[in-house]
Each structure stands twice: as structure tokens, then as C-alpha cells.
Amino acid sequence: PLFGPIIGGIIIKVASWRWIFWVNVPVVVIAIALILWKMPHYPAQNKTAKMDFVGILLLILSSSALIYGIVQAAHRGSFMNHTSVLFVGSGIVAALFYLGWASHQRKQAVLPLSLFKFRSFDGSGLGLFMAGTVLNGAMLLLPLYFQNIQNMSVIMAALALLPQGIGMLISRGLTGKLTDSLGAKYVVLVSVVIAFVGTLPFYWFDQHTAYWVIALVLFIRGIGAGGILMPLMADAYTDMRKDQIPAATIGSRIIQNIGSAFGSALITTVVTADATTRIHTFAEQLKAGKFHVTAEHLSAFAASHVLALKIQAFQNGFLLISIVALLITLPTLLLTNKRHGA
């Protein structure tokens, strides 16, 4: 969270956006080396277990189709396009087939439906899905805000995110201990409220807002954002047997990935559609002569008005992120509360 945006900004500035994906290659190589060198060898918990190839295939088809359809919605500025409807629909159909298959397979399914009987797993899953909007949606919107509204370069937009990264590092150092002592419920509740406080002010920020104010708000937001994911992930396994944890891991990661894609697509679609609609309406009004502007001032007036409309679209995007942050408090009520022995 601290160096990622900076490295990304440098790569985009001096190379091509395609190199963002090549960065993964050395990271994966290093990770494999560390796994072989440092990770202990754990024996299989159930040597008689068989791979659920049908279930795995259905989950791959469902999650891939859903994510692709959602991402296409972000590109096209609307969920109501042929590609998104086709792939999201296919993903839902594949998910329904999996539900039927998992009901038949029971414990042998790669993601047993019995996991959803655990309150913490349900709360964790819903929280992780909604966190995709609060975390990934905002991380997509903030650099665009700095570049399009604050007129920052790619490098400066990346550096502008440093306060948020510092806040995340500070809170992540405390999150594990607090979750162990208090339970995930209170940690996530406090974190989403802090994230809300650190996001809502962007609803009023514009091109004239001083950066020190933005940096302070980003630092607060980083403290909240850094305390959301870890407790949600950890509490997904509460009260489960050891043999249920691998399946719960698969389920929570699928939910998180789809939520991340959905959150990014939702925010991008809302901001894009809002800006497009406002600018189109303004263009029609300008063409109809509803604004009494002299010819020599028309260009400056149009540019200023379009910028104001873009700012409103960004502000509405941040407002939506703030609302979703508060909504995470609802599934958080299902999480562990160690203060009362629950």
C-alpha cells in the first residue's frame, strides 16, 4: 500500500501500462523460492479425499464469467450492455449449477454448502464482497481524481497516495492483536467507521482543495482501510473444524475477488455514467442556446462547466463509497465478539 502506487506510477511514466503485469513475474519467482526454502511441509489431513473437478470447473466458470462481465460494465460505462449481460448471466447460471452439484456432493464438494451455516463465514463473505467497493473502488478512483481534477502528473498522483499507505501500515500492525483480544466484530466496526470518516470529505473536495487537507483525510482513511480485510478473512474460519478450513479459504477468496471486481466496476460505471449524462445534457442545453455567453467567452465557459460536472461525478462516486462503508457494519454484526464470550 505504501510503495505499490509509486512503483506503478513510475512504470506507467517511463514504460507502458503493459509492464504493470510483467511486474508479477519476478514477484512470483521470489515467492516460489521462499515457499520452497522456508515453508514447512504439512502432511495431507485427509489422504482419502478426492478432487472435485466438476465443482472446481463450475466455480471457475462462474467466477470468471462474473468478473469479466462486471469489468466490461466498467469499460462501457453501463451494466446494460450485451457483453456484461451475457457473461454475468452465464456466471449466475454456472453458480446455480454449482449449488445443485454441491447439494448432491455434500462434504465432498470443493466448497460445501454447509459452510454457510456458520455466522462468521456469512458475515465475513458479505463483508469481503462489500469491501471491494470501499477498498478497490476507491483505489481506482483516487488516482483518477488527482490526475483529472487536481491536474497532477502520474508520478505526483502516485505520491499523493502516500498518506493513505502510511495509515494502512500503522493500522495493520495493530489489527492482528486487537482481533485476537476483542474479536473481529469491534475491529471491523471501528475500521469501517474510520474509513467512512476518511472518505466522506471527498464529497466536498474540488480542484481548489489544499493538498494538506487531502493528505490528512487520506491518512485517516488509510487507518480505517487497513483494519478491514484482515479481521474479515480471519473470522471466516471461526468454530470450523480443520478439515473445513481449506474449503472456507476457497470460498472467501472467490467472494473477495468477485467483490473487488464488482466494486471497481460499480464505482467506475457510476462516475462514468454520471459524468457522461451530465456533459451530454449540458451540450444539448448549450446547443439550444440556454446559456447567454458571448462567442469569445464560450470556450472558457464550456471548459469550466465540464470540469464542474466531472467534479460532481467524482464527488458522487466518493459518496457511494462512503455509504457502502457504513453498510459493512450490517454483516459485521455476525462476526466474533470475544468481549462477551460469543
Spatial CB neighbours of 49, under 8 Å, sequence gap ≥ 6: 108
Backbone φ and ψ of 294, nearest 5°? -70, 160
Which one of 89, 110, 131 terminates a domain? 110
Q: Is the pLDDT of residue 172 over 90?
A: no
Q: Provide the residue range defining the domain that includes 230.
A: 118-342
101 pLDDT tier (thresholds 50, 70, 90)? very high
Q: How confident is the model at residue 77 (pLDDT cuts 50, 70, 90)?
A: low
Q: Same domain, yes or no, for 231 and 298?
A: yes
Residue 1 lies in a domain: no
Has residue 325 been placed in a domain? Answer: yes
Task: Tell whether 135 and 263 lie within a shared domain.
Answer: yes
Q: What's the rounded mean pLDDT across residues 142-165?
A: 91
Query: Which regions of 130-173 does DSSP assign to beta strands (E)?
Result: none
What is the pLDDT at residue 214?
96
Provide the pLDDT for residue 339. Answer: 57
Q: Domain with 258 in it: what CATH number? A: 1.20.1250.20
Q: Is residue 14 part of a domain?
A: no
Q: What is the mean pLDDT of residues 280-292?
A: 86
- Among 83, 110, 137, the domain-final residue is 110
Helix (H) or strand (E) holding 234: helix 229-235
- Among 23-32, 179-188, 319-328, whose mean pLDDT is lowest? 179-188
Q: Identify whether the C-beta of residue 106 lies closer than 8 Å to the C-beta of residue 114.
A: yes
Q: Using a pLDDT cut of 90, give the percent of the chain over it.
A: 43
d(CA 336, CA 317): 31
For residue 265, what pLDDT is reported? 83
pLDDT at 59 over 80: yes
Q: From CA 93, how far away is CA 104, in angstroms rounded?
A: 17
Query: Which residues are CB-neighbours of 138 under 8 A, at least 6 positions away?
Result: 199, 221, 225, 267, 318, 321
**Rounded-to-integer distance, Cα 92 and Cα 94, Å:** 5
Range 35-45 average pLDDT:
85
User: For position 11, what pLDDT does the model report?
Assistant: 87
Give the per-residue pLDDT at 340: 52
Task: Give the C-alpha separation, 309 to 276, whole Å.
Answer: 9
Please check whether residue 127 lies inside any domain of the structure. Answer: yes
What letter would DSSP give residue 201? G
User: Based on the domain organization, do 90 and 219 belong to the same domain?
Assistant: no
**DSSP 8-state assignment for residue 116:** G
Q: Which residues contact 150 (CB under 8 A, 6 or more apart)?
A: 157, 160, 207, 209, 211
Does 18 fall in a domain? no
Contact present, 248 and 121 (Cβ < 8 Å): yes
Residue the block writes with cell 488516482: 143
- Do both 95 and 163 map to the same domain? no
Residue 194 sits in the same domain as residue 260: yes
Same domain, 155 and 267: yes
* Angle (CA) 291 296 297, round 5°: 45
Whether 92 has a pLDDT exceeding 60, the answer reads: yes
- Residue where a domain stops, chosen among 110, 132, 148: 110
Environment class of residue 140 by beta-carbon count within 10 Å: exposed (0-12), middle (13-18) or buried (19+)?
middle
Which residues does 252 contact at the CB level (< 8 Å), separation at least 6? Answer: 121, 124, 125, 128, 233, 236
Within this chain, do residues 101 and 223 fall inside the same structural domain, yes or no? no
Lowest mean pLDDT among 45-54, 270-279, 305-314: 45-54
Question: Is residue 341 scored above 60 in pLDDT?
Answer: no
Phi, psi dihedrals of residue 77, rounded to the nearest 5°: 75, 15
Q: Are residues 77 and 203 in the same domain?
A: no
Domain co-membership, 77 together with 180: no
17 inside domain = no
Does residue 90 fall inside a structural domain?
yes
How much is the pTM? 0.85
| Residue pLDDT, tens place only, 193-237 | 999 999 999 999 999 999 999 999 999 999 999 999 899 998 888
Q: Is the pLDDT at 108 greater than 80, yes or no?
A: yes
- Whether 171 and 274 share a structural domain: yes
Mean pLDDT in residue range 273-287: 87
Domain count, the chain: 2
- Whether residues 79 and 228 share a domain: the answer is no
Task: Name the residue with higher pLDDT: 31 or 16.
Answer: 31
* Range in 82-86, 176-180, 336-340 with the lowest mean pLDDT: 336-340
Examine the domain organization and report whether 75 and 200 are in the same domain: no
In a domain, 184, yes or no: yes
